[in-house]
Amino acid sequence: MADCLFCKIINGEVPSTKVFENELVYAFRDIEPQAPEHIVIVPKKHIASTNDITAENSGYVAAIFEAAAQIAKQLGIDGDGYRIVNNCGKLGGQTVGHLHFHLMGGRSFGWPAG
Ligand code: AMP
Ligand code: ZN
């Protein structure tokens, strides 16, 4: 998608600090980290939000969670634990219209989420 920030990050048009990449998934450090470790994990295909996950593209979501497990080990936060967040739409707090999951660790998190 020509006008999508995360598509531009995936294709290198916008710089990012990559922490993981495979055929289906790209992951990079959030530019405004909300935790000592804050990684954004995205599908390499443009999917606008959780509303657009279907039987046809849900393999990307499985791949994202596989990547999350691997990244958590890579960062050394798997033992203490971490949080994975998906914001969907206006009330969910989504600001970039390309499906993504926040992987955050290195501190404790409250519940319920704010
Ligand atoms: P959300 O609010 O769930 O849509 O999350 C979007 C996230 O993308 C926010 O946490 C932003 O800090 C992050 N973000 C925005 N622009 C960039 C960028 N150029 N590089 C890395 N992260 C970014
Ligand atoms: Zn996109």
Domain boundaries, the chain: 5-105
Instruction: Tell me how far the alpha carbon of residue 55 lies from the centroid of ligand 1, in angstroms.
Output: 27
Residues 48-64 have pLDDT tens digits of 999 999 999 999 999 99
Name the residue among 75, 67, 55, 78 with its Cα closest to residue 101: 67
Q: What pLDDT does residue 105 have? A: 98
Name the residue among 30, 8, 11 with its Cα closest to residue 19: 30
Q: What pLDDT does residue 22 have? A: 98
Distance CA 60, CA 26 (A): 11
For residue 97, the 8-state DSSP code is S
Name the residue among 8, 23, 38, 28 with its Cα closest to residue 105: 38
In this prediction the pTM is 0.98
Distance CA 60, CA 29 (A): 19
In the structure, which protein residues have their CB atom closer than 6 angstroms to any atom of ligand 1?
A: 5, 14, 16, 28, 30-32, 40, 87, 93-96
Distance CA 79, CA 53 (A): 30
Instruction: Tell me how far the alpha carbon of residue 24 lies from the centroid of ligand 2, in angstroms.
Output: 13
| Atom from ligand 1 closest to the CA of residue 95 | 4
Q: What pLDDT does residue 97 have? A: 98
CATH architecture label of 5-105: 2-Layer Sandwich (3.30)
Instruction: Tell me how far the alpha carbon of residue 57 lies from the centroid of ligand 1, in angstroms.
Output: 22
Q: What pLDDT does residue 2 have? A: 87
Residues in the chain with pLDDT < 70?
Answer: none
Distance CA 80, CA 6 (A): 29
